[in-house]
Amino acid sequence: MTPDLFSPLKLGAVQTPNRIFLAPLTRCRAEPGNIPCELNAEYYRQRASGGLLIAEATSVSPRGYGYPNTPGIFNDAHIAGWRKVTNAVHAAGGLIFLQLWHVGRISHPSFQPNGETPVSASAIRPRGQVFTGSAMEDYVTPRALDISEIPGIIAEYEHGARAAKAAHFDGVEIHNANGYLLDQFLRNGTNHRTDSYGGSVENRARLTLEVTQAVVDVWGADRVGIRFSPGGVFNDMHDSNPLHTFGHVLKKLEPLNLAFAHITRVTAQDIAHGAAEGIGPRELRPFYNGNIVANGGFTLESGNQALQEDWADAIAFGVPFLANPDLPERLRKNAPLNEADPSTFYASGPKGYTDYPTLRA
């Protein structure tokens, strides 16, 4: 029987009730100390009818921040804060994974311990500016990580994975997308290293594979996912041959039998910013036989089509789920959707966060 968005899915160690997932969305609403709070718990609880909630990008390191009021997962206060979220989601019958994150060069000294320079694969300054909490500032040229520091980066992801387990998540997703640290190592537009972590695609994929193995050692492969944005140009990213680069890393990951690979497709907005059309989950399916979660501007119709054509096993919805806490019910009933308010995407407080109405409100 051909699945649709309302079909259950065996996703590694968990069984999801449907294939409508919440995409990880940075909302900048953590409390001081980057600690999740009751407001975050309510936001995720409201969306617990999704097949799987993938919680927002969460820093595994004090050096991993690049935005105001984003959460962390490396100390006891973070664990306690996230337990409020996981308890609320589980009480509502939901499943939730945490996305493990390090921004690398997409930061600013004002976010770094002691005002240090952000780190990356290579000392290449990204174009653009960052909001430091009070003003827009140009990105700085990052410091290339010395090869002796890389085991420490891997250890931070491992520690974050253990902390996520202590916070009672159902699993984790490794953030290897959108121009952040692991993506900076993987793509040759940002990785100009000449050591064993640079040059060939085998070397550039090394950190991704080592981090994944470290996280798998904590959780087991069947509770670990990983996210890629092969055609994305966000955060000044590019690669000379994304099909080869991402095809290679997916082939290397396949034997691990991860819960899923989460792959974004190129949207019209990406193309408008210079992305090459056509490198996404459909094109990468031949390289990966495991579960693929696809993301990027899907509707009920296009999501079902992706499932029927077998280049996706589930669909992660971002903005539609942000604005519609009961998105699965609305899609099932083909009901009108609330319109999202972009001015509140990265604001503070409940407005545009926990006040979107449900059909039954």
Q: Which two tokens stand for residue 231?
A: 């055609």
Running DSSP on this structure, what letter comes out for residue 72? B
pLDDT of residue 361: 59
Exactly one of 43, 65, 139, 180 is catalytic; which is it? 180
Instruction: Decide if 67 is catalytic.
Output: no
Question: What percentage of residues in the chain have a pLDDT greater than 70?
Answer: 99
Backbone angles phi, psi at 280, to 5 degrees: -160, -160
Whether 107 and 65 have beta carbons less than 8 Å apart is answered as: yes
Backbone angles phi, psi at 86, to 5 degrees: -65, -35
Name the 3-class secondary structure at 278. coil
Span 304-332, pLDDT tens digits: 999 999 999 999 999 999 999 999 999 99
Which residue from 229, 226, 223 is spatially nearest to 266, judged by alpha carbons? 229
Span 182-196, pLDDT tens digits: 999 999 999 999 999
Q: Does the predicted TM-score (pTM) go above 0.85?
A: yes
Q: Which domains does the chain have, with CATH numbers?
A: 9-344 (3.20.20.70)
Whether 1 and 15 have beta carbons less than 8 Å apart is answered as: no
Report the 10 Å Cβ neighbour count for 111.
23
Span 97-139, pLDDT tens digits: 999 999 999 999 999 999 999 999 999 999 999 998 888 999 9
pLDDT of residue 270: 75
Span 212-254, pLDDT tens digits: 999 999 999 999 999 999 998 899 999 999 999 999 999 999 9
Backbone angles phi, psi at 227, to 5 degrees: -115, 135
Running DSSP on this structure, what letter comes out for residue 64? -
In this prediction, residue 7 has a pLDDT band, given cuts at 50, 70 and 90, of very high
